Amino acid sequence: MNEVLILTINPGSTSTKFALYRNEECVLKKTIRHTVEELSMYDSIPDQFDFRKTLILEELKKENVEFGKIKYVVGRGGLTYPLQSGVYKINNLMMDHLRAGIFGHHASNLGPLIASNIAQWLGNVNAFIADPVVTDELEDIARFSGHPAFERKPIFHALNQKAIARQHARAIGKSYEELNLIVVHLGGGISIGAHKDGRVIDVNNAFNGEGPFTPERSGSLPVGQIVEACFSGKYSKEELLRMITGEGGFVAYAGTNDALEIEKKAQQGDVEAMALQEAMGYQISKSIGEMSTVLKGKVDAILMTGGIAYNRDMMEDIRERVGFIAPMHVYPGEDELGALAMNALLVEQGKTTPMEYVGDTKLAATH
């Protein structure tokens, strides 16, 4: 196979990550952290486009990257209509939907926008997304919420969850499609998925209101109290939405979205930080327990991944709570950038064909 340079981009709620791959080899990887103060300068996530794109290009120029050799730019997928797992061309309709936030605003919406813009700037370069956050493989029973006016919809870290699941399967000499796994992504958002036979048959909506609280999200909240707050006159709609996503979790309790800062304070004996860390681990463990029932107790392994998985104290606390369900394996960090590159290589090798985003539910996964 000829040498192929692939630029991959992953905007997260608290960071912008990008990498350059030469075929399967990572030749450059960067993580740019964003503080609450930096991001608060922008009224909306779409307003962060130039800020984040410029940071990426500046770093690439510092590294003397040969831009003319880049053939693919692959961005993390955002909040569009539900899609099958796979590779998609970034087209104008997709970008219109992401800018408008038709299914909500999240930093991942910037992934396709930045990837497409840089690809256009480079010239004759392909721009894709792969395994976006709206990947939908839920079983029909998982869609019930408790009221027909509200249907459960998956928004989660599909790319990293599937990449780590496949990595674990290779490590034990199995195929992903023959395992039952609970995969936990721990970052600015937290998603906990039940993987059965290569499909994520249930997972919390990690974006706006399900599962454990996170460094900046409130997770599941008491619904009655939320309704009271909505009609109290104390908060605007925008303020309440920010309380759920952006200003919840650690931000609400401790004024920071930096999980490492909370970890260090906990290690130093800070009582509030210790309580917050334990409470997050407690809620994560409860959600793992829920997903074990989805798999009817037949769980081959529990996989912990994402940046917070580096927190050994929290991992041991969770292991104590869920170890009776299945062996727990920790894969700290994430391989989303590598997974994006691997999908581009599959296109290059003719092993997969990029799909077209059509902007409706026809491409939602079949059940």
Q: What's the pLDDT at 366?
A: 35
CA angle centred on 93, ends 145 and 238, rounded to 5°: 50
Q: What's the pLDDT at 37?
A: 86
Tell me the H-state helices in 151-258: 158-171, 223-230, 237-244, 249-254
Q: 344 and 324 in one domain? A: no
Q: Count of domains in the chain?
A: 2
Q: 203 and 295 in one domain? A: yes
Q: How far apart are the first and last CA of the chain?
A: 36
Q: 356 and 273 in one domain? A: no
Phi, psi of 351 (to 5 degrees): -90, -10
- pLDDT (tens digit per residue) in 164-187: 998 999 999 999 999 999 999 999
Q: 181 and 271 in one domain? A: yes
Q: Is residue 277 part of a domain?
A: yes
- pLDDT (tens digit per residue) in 345-365: 989 999 899 999 998 754 433
Boundaries of domain holding 68: 5-137+336-363
Q: Which ranges of the chain have pLDDT less than 70?
A: 1, 361-367
